[in-house]
Structure 1
């Protein structure tokens, strides 16, 4: 009996397990279908529109005086007087007396020279009288013909005339030296550096001060080659003719002073005749008139040696697209979004560009068409034909999405097995 049960029980268990398995296979649940929707990257876009764009070429440079010189005395003497404006930073006008040297020795020289003139004129009168007397004596002796030059004392008279001219020249020199004891300003300017003061003995060639003119200042601005063609630059030629530009390009100079942005208006007055050796760029010279005038905003004036950033106004471009710099990839590549919400990479050639935007011609052969959608969202690895979910000018794009989703949806069978 025990042996019988030991055989029957395992067989019964196997039969029950087989029957259960068969029942599960026969009565398994129906397979459910699941839809896997595509995962699309949401991007922002904008429709391209033709517009106009005023070209502004940026540059930078340092303010330089139009004239800077060192004052030197032409005579030797002690400084006896100095102007109150003869200090570093002091302003002066053209012809203003900046310094006086001791004039006593030069006043004495004028008197001595004038006395020499009187003596020379006296000797000339005496020689002229002797020449007349010599002529009378020649006639009184009854000689015929013309007397020779020596008999007429012509050499002595000529020497007397030369002595008078020389004495008068010495007077002019003495008076000029006396005038040079007064040091006058050669132009309206400002003292950059004072090198001497009252009581100091100076000689001809001693440096008195370094000064510069203040009627206007100049700024050398290197110009980028791409932006030069849109600027009205003055050009001078060897034959004296000038370029056809009727008006010089306007310049706005910006600098931060006392924590505030200050601006000055200027103009391009000339282009240097040689390219910069280090940058290989053309140098334009901007001029700002009366830089030391008092400003209404209370900011300090434009000073020599100050670093400024320049914005040069050029021509206005028509029928162009202005594209944000953030939407431009390396190599001047942009991404367009097709009506089916797929990506398309396009290479463009900028007319002008800066750190914020680039400008391309709408009529260029490979330029996008007006109304096409520009992708504004940076995409690390865009692929041509990749689908996206765009928001165009603030509105979600639904056109074409339903069709794309329908074609992209695929039934995927659920995993086989028992009910979950």
Structure 2
């Protein structure tokens, strides 16, 4: 009986000690730690750390870098259309020439003589025609008075028409003779830079001698580069958009970047069957001749952004079965899921046509951490 009494005494003492210990505990001792999962009533939530960046306005969309070649819009091989001895070549090899400047003079003596001969034949034919017309008029009058035969009248008509044809032939011969004389002087067909003279003064040249020199147009010049059809589709959507909205930024061999952008002039009419690339031609002014036809440069193909175009860092955009979306950070530092329309994506920007406003903040790293409407903690800005 005494053992049973001792047991109950010890139990009561332990129960009193437990209650006493609980009384000394802090009131929030049973609250969850900050790292506890969200959703439990009365438990604190630690905001996930993310990196964020601003939505920025876009003027030009950076594209791809290509190797390009400078080409002249007009390379003219200067040839001789007649035979003759070169008596003068009054141009500087490698120098600039203007349209109409004399490049070569051929000996004109034989061609001046041919012009005079053709002119004489033409005047003779004119006289013959005048005589034939007067004779026809006389015969016709006699024939109408029955004083001349029909055969005589027909012969007079034939003589007049023959004289008329001879005059046409003489005029044609004179035209050709004058044309030959004109080509005894060979002039520059356009502004540009002359090449090396293939034949010095004193040489006899003919129409089959080949190019005497070349004249290369240097202002403006064209920049030719090959764009893959994949790039054309991803950067512009279509070749037509490439022609309308594309520009090329040129970097010279020494690393100098030209301030002026080259506009896309045209593209070739078909893609290469083996390479699936399309030749693109951009045009740019070249008054200082910094761009030399035949040389190699680098180009950055850009797309001119339409008014109001906005960009975000490309890894801020996520996709699901409904399309593209981003995490927008509100003024209260809460995550808001926002649907967006992405027009195109480059290595440095995703161009958004709707869903965002300039200056808004979007999460760029740690996009797997936020939950809709919950706070986030920005630890790095880009």
Q: TM-score range by the shorter chain?
A: 0.5 to 0.7
Q: Is the 8 A contact 1:48 1:321 kept in 2?
A: no
- In the superposition, relative to structure 1, how do residues 363 and 46 fare at CA in structure 2: closer, same or farther (>3 Å)? farther
CA distance in 2, matches of 1:309, 1:352: 22
1:318 corresponds to: 310
CA distance in 2, matches of 1:372, 1:151: 104
- Secondary structure of 1:261's counterpart equals coil
Matched, 1:128 2:133: yes
2:321 corresponds to: none
- In the superposition, relative to structure 1, how do residues 77 and 120 fare at CA in structure 2: closer, same or farther (>3 Å)? same
Q: Is the 8 A contact 1:221 1:283 kept in 2?
A: yes
Q: CA RMSD in A?
A: 3.7
- Secondary structure of 1:211's counterpart equals strand
Q: Which structure 2 segments of 5+ residues have no match?
A: 1-48, 317-341, 356-361, 369-377
Q: Is the 8 A contact 1:61 1:307 kept in 2?
A: yes
Matched, 1:55 2:76: no
- In the superposition, relative to structure 1, how do residues 360 and 129 fare at CA in structure 2: closer, same or farther (>3 Å)? closer
Superposed CA deviations along residues 96-121 of structure 1, whole A, max 9, x for unmatched, are 22111111101000111111112222
Superposed CA deviations along residues 310-362 of structure 1, whole A, max 9, x for unmatched, are 122225563522569xxxxxxxxxxxxxxxxxxxxxxxx996454xx575989
Normalised TM-score (structure 2): 0.63
- Superposed, which structure 2 residues align to 1:12-411 within 5 Å? 47-52=51-56, 54-57=60-63, 58-85=65-92, 87=93, 89-135=94-140, 137-138=142-143, 142=147, 147-148=150-151, 150-151=153-154, 153-206=156-209, 207-224=211-228, 225-226=230-231, 228-231=233-236, 235=240, 248-257=245-254, 261-263=256-258, 264-289=260-285, 291=286, 293-294=287-288, 301-315=290-304, 318=310, 320-322=312-314, 352-354=345-347, 370=363, 372-373=365-366, 393=380
Q: Is the 8 A contact 1:231 1:313 kept in 2?
A: no
CA distance in 1, matches of 2:142, 2:169: 31
Q: 1:158 deviation in Å?
A: 0.9
Q: 1:248 deviation in Å?
A: 4.3
- In the superposition, relative to structure 1, how do residues 46 and 361 fare at CA in structure 2: closer, same or farther (>3 Å)? farther
Normalised TM-score (structure 1): 0.58
Superposed CA deviations along residues 381-417 of structure 1, whole A, max 9, x for unmatched, are xxxxxxxxxx9549xxxxxxxxxxxxxxxxxxxxxxx
Query: Which is higher, the Rg of structure 1 or of structure 2?
Result: 1
Superposed CA deviations along residues 231-253 of structure 1, whole A, max 9, x for unmatched, are 49773xxxxxxx798x5433211
Q: Is the 8 A contact 1:226 1:351 kept in 2?
A: no
1:4 corresponds to: none
Superposed CA deviations along residues 145-165 of structure 1, whole A, max 9, x for unmatched, are x83465551111111111111
- In the superposition, relative to structure 1, how do residues 363 and 113 fare at CA in structure 2: closer, same or farther (>3 Å)? closer
- Secondary structure of 1:110's counterpart equals helix
Q: 1:308 deviation in Å?
A: 1.0
Q: Which structure 1 segments of 5+ residues have no match?
A: 1-44, 236-242, 295-299, 325-348, 376-390, 395-420
Q: Is the 8 A contact 2:72 2:216 kept in 1?
A: yes
Q: Is the 8 A contact 2:67 2:225 kept in 1?
A: yes
